[in-house]
């Protein structure tokens, strides 16, 4: 699990894509401290396992399914990526709980400066927006952000100068793709409500049929 608070910007050194997987090498410094082989690091919000470490880089393997469903497929040498080590029990939860399992991709439609902040409009599928509520949380490229507005196929977030400067959002423009992960607690609540609604519907249907002589 992660918090959505980005620790540093890494720099892509190499992305080798094979038939059914890829290998990504990233230059980093802060996230290497205490990191061992087999540890998890979120790269643009995607939870990946460290398979190789040097004094200034780490490498991860990416399964084909992950590659095609995230913006990792667009990475080139020199590209910046958001990095965060997995949280520890004593870590302050400054953002919100982020699993590192991306739900889908969004596209930046508009960036507008409002005061000191940047208001970003992002389009995505209604499957994603169905889990969003104003003032709720979403992870955008692994960054924990508060939702300002939510519509059928778009939502907006406000980015403070520190976040804009120290994450990949400062390098994004209109048309850029971003990884999206909705709030895991919201997903559990939505699933529970759907199950309860379906259960009530089934109970009512069975009772109705039985009371009207359609069931023995």
pLDDT tens digit string along 55-74?
A: 999 999 999 999 999 999 99
Say what the pLDDT of residue 205 is: 62
Say what the pLDDT of residue 186 is: 75
Say what the pLDDT of residue 182 is: 94
Q: If pLDDT is split at 50, 70 and 90, which confidence band does 190 have?
A: confident
Q: What's the whole-number average pLDDT of the chain? A: 89
Say what the pLDDT of residue 99 is: 86
Please give, one letter per residue, the 3-state secondary structure of 104-154: EEEEEEEEEEECCEEEEEEECCHHHHCCCCCCCEEEECCEEEEEEEECCCE
What six digits make up the tokens of 194? 């759907």
Beta carbons of 3 and 87 less than 8 angstroms apart: yes
Q: If pLDDT is split at 50, 70 and 90, which confidence band does 152 have?
A: very high
Say what the pLDDT of residue 122 is: 98
Indicate if the pLDDT at residue 154 is higher than 90.
yes
Indicate if the pLDDT at residue 201 is higher than 90.
no
Judged by phi (left if over 0) then psi (alpha if -120 to 50, else beta), residue 34 lies in left
**What is the spatial distance between Cα 116 and Cα 165, in angstroms, rounded to a whole number?**
12
What six digits make up the tokens of 44? 């643009």
Say what the pLDDT of residue 33 is: 94
Mean pLDDT of 166-188: 92
- Backbone phi and psi for residue 40, each to the nearest 5 degrees, phi listed first: -105, 140
Give pTM, 2 decimals: 0.85
Which residue ranges form the domains of the chain, and what is each CATH number?
A: 8-85 (2.40.30.20), 104-189 (2.40.30.20)
What six digits make up the tokens of 168? 């990949």
Mean pLDDT of 139-158: 96
Indicate if the pLDDT at residue 184 is higher than 90.
no
């Amino acid at each position: 699990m992660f918090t959505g608070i980005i620790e540093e910007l890494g720099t892509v050194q190499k992305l080798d894509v094979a038939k059914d997987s890829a290998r990504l090498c990233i230059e980093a410094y802060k996230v290497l401290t205490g990191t061992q082989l087999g540890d998890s690091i979120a790269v643009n919000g995607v939870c990946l396992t460290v398979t190789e470490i040097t004094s200034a880089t780490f490498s991860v393997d990416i399964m084909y399914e992950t590659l095609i469903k995230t913006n990792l497929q667009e990475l080139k040498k020199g590209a910046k990526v958001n990095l965060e080590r997995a949280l520890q029990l004593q870590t302050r939860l400054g953002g919100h709980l982020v699993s590192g399992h991306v739900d889908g991709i969004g596209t930046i439609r508009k960036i507008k400066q409002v005061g000191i902040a940047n208001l970003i409009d992002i389009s995505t599928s209604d499957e994603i927006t169905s889990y969003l509520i104003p003032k709720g949380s979403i992870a955008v490229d692994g960054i924990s952000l508060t939702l300002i507005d939510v519509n059928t196929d778009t939502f907006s977030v406000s980015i403070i100068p520190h976040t804009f400067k120290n994450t990949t959002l400062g390098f994004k423009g209109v048309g850029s793709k971003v990884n999206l992960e909705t709030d895991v607690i919201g997903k559990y609540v939505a699933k529970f409500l759907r199950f309860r609604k379906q259960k009530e519907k089934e109970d009512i249907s069975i009772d109705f049929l039985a009371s009207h002589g359609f069931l023995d």
